[in-house]
Structure 1
């Protein structure tokens, strides 16, 4: 087990996924195009090592594997032979940062003690710095929080708290106040993640012993993680188990999909129907595994996409959709519906331009996290109140609830506390 690996967690944030190739739109990314006019006849990795000064052959091979190199607009292998007339398109990711700077970003702290800090994360907040977002993350906000604590206690705060000047320096990415595990990857204390747009409860370790303990609990799947999702359509019955493997989408680069082949990883979600509305439903979900976008993929696969989840066939909701629920693009069962980045951006832009818009991001909230406290060994539960606009939309829908059988047994979320 690697306790710094946030894969042992919840709905994972796609942005830091290291299997993704460089994005030419990233701040600091560099694009190089080579038109081959001579008879080269070299392996692609060997040729690029010679042309991209200061980059090792192993890094070139990783760049090729990640999709950062195209040959004649096709994905090559490291062993591809470069020939006259070829066009090589290379995207170099921005250089890695070595500093996690404190940033004054508001965070809702549900609990804090010597071992852990529990956050009710807001939407549009990435958990930790990565190649696609170097600052403005939850870890930057926590660095600011701990900086204020130290200064209030009369202690000084200096760059060494977050800076490491050499690649081999153990302080690289460390934040005073957080576990040092994962610091080299700029995710100190991070045991699990939430998607950028997913709100709700998450725990961060403040020391190494707590980090190891909590990571083991996530690894052993003894941590209770319960979510609420507002979905299009009305699920059958009162609930069930979604046991469908998940892997990368076969067509699009960013999304994931149910995959019944060698790329699919076992993925299990328990769902319970808590409320039925006209055209919508409020569903409680319990994760038994922690695959990237697991809840969103599983619900879309069954034809109940999350409201506002544009990537996976959910629709933005304005006053028009509130009054007359639409047939969502992802409403067909077993379709593995997904929109690519460009189409998703167009749908989102159109929604944000609407004066009647209510919600245009996934209505998905991590409501409950229950675990054994790493020091006391007592079972503790943390509940995160809903964020706007999901809260207001549900309150309005409550006025038009419809008859139907609801889950009673096995639920974990007290709707009255949200």
Structure 2
């Protein structure tokens, strides 16, 4: 396979279809441009949502282009093939010969990926316990489930292949219980509820997820309970029945209550602009403290792969979320909506 030159990776290429190539297939048209890659790789890019025609993402290789069409390609970066040990501090809640439970800090990426080759949780784990190097996956050794970069909280990491297989099976069978604490904008009409709405790639903005039609996404179920209701926001206890990418963030935004601090799903400056002017300075100070989405994986329960006994763990809110709760609270706050 032809290797893409390093200087091309992560770049954005835009071309205009000439009259001589009108009605060509999209993949054929791009293969005749200056992109130094094979047609098969271009087809993979198209199917992954990296190509747009006139600002609309097109995922069909056989899409016909017309004269004057603007075809844009966001060239994917090549992900790292290995991870190296790095001496990064870890907050280890529990550890034995089979697994670890880690309280991941906000801002830490779980495993090496495009744009994040170093300083990830996996790099830290490889330094802490070298036995992870025996896993077949050199980039995600022992990882059972993931958290977004700016979501903090509890994660299970397997130290052995048999433990990883057991825990992954539990996760697939929805027997691992994962509880979250979050802050969302606004007051909820009901004290608790269930959001059952399919989640898939956003039809136009491919780096985001969205609630989509059933045939374009996967079933996603989130349960929530209002722990405290304040004038501008609500403290929530959340539980995942499924584990889709950005699920809680997408579901709460879909309800009109985005996670506070979330810049991707309308929970930061966009929402701040819609608040009462008298409250805005205080809320802006809160967002200055809370530099990420206010979401924390606070509870975890699973069956141990060797003992067969249930294990449960809780992690208190990190300081930035504690401060945000205090700044949201005032004399009008109540319990429940």
Specify the TM-score bucket, using the shorter chain as the normaliser.
0.7 to 0.9
* TM, length-normalised to structure 1: 0.67
Q: Which gives a bigger RCO, structure 1 or 2 (Cα 8 Å, sep 6+)?
A: 1
> Is residue 375 from structure 1 mapped to residue 328 from structure 2 by the alignment?
no
- How far apart are residue 364 of structure 1 and its match? 0.7
- Whole-angstrom distance in 2 between the partners of 1:259 and 1:44: 25
**Alignment partner of 1:67 out of 49, 54, 57:** 49
* TM, length-normalised to structure 2: 0.81
CA displacement 1:203-238 (0-9 Å, x = unmatched): 111111011100010111111111111122222343
Name the structure 2 match of 1:122: 105
Name the structure 1 match of 2:93: 110
- How far apart are residue 70 of structure 1 and its match? 4.6
- Whole-angstrom distance in 1 between the partners of 2:244 and 2:156: 18
- Whole-angstrom distance in 2 between the partners of 1:385 and 1:27: 44
Structure 1 373/87 Cα, relative in aligned 2: closer, same or farther at 3 Å? Answer: same
Helix, strand or coil at the partner of 2:132: coil
- Whole-angstrom distance in 2 between the partners of 1:92 and 1:31: 6
Name the structure 2 match of 1:134: 117
Structure 1 68/379 Cα, relative in aligned 2: closer, same or farther at 3 Å? Answer: same
Helix, strand or coil at the partner of 1:390: helix
Return 391-400 or 233-242, whichever deviates more: 391-400
Please say if residues 179 and 237 of structure 2, whose CA atoms lie closer than 8 Å, have aligned partners that are also in contact: yes
Aligned positions of 1:19-418 closer than 5 A: 28-31=9-12, 39=20, 43-46=25-28, 48-49=30-31, 55-70=37-52, 75=57, 77-80=60-63, 89-146=72-129, 176-177=131-132, 180-183=135-138, 186-315=139-268, 325=279, 357-395=288-326, 397=328, 400=331, 402-405=333-336
Name the structure 1 match of 2:3: none
Alignment gaps of 5+ in structure 1: 1-25, 148-175, 327-350, 407-418
CA displacement 1:70-107 (0-9 Å, x = unmatched): 55666554235678877654443333422312223332
- How far apart are residue 391 of structure 1 and its match? 1.8
Alignment gaps of 5+ in structure 2: 1-6
Over the residues paired in the alignment, what is the CA RMSD in angstroms? 3.5
Q: Count how many residue pairs are aligned between Structure 1 and Structure 2.
A: 323
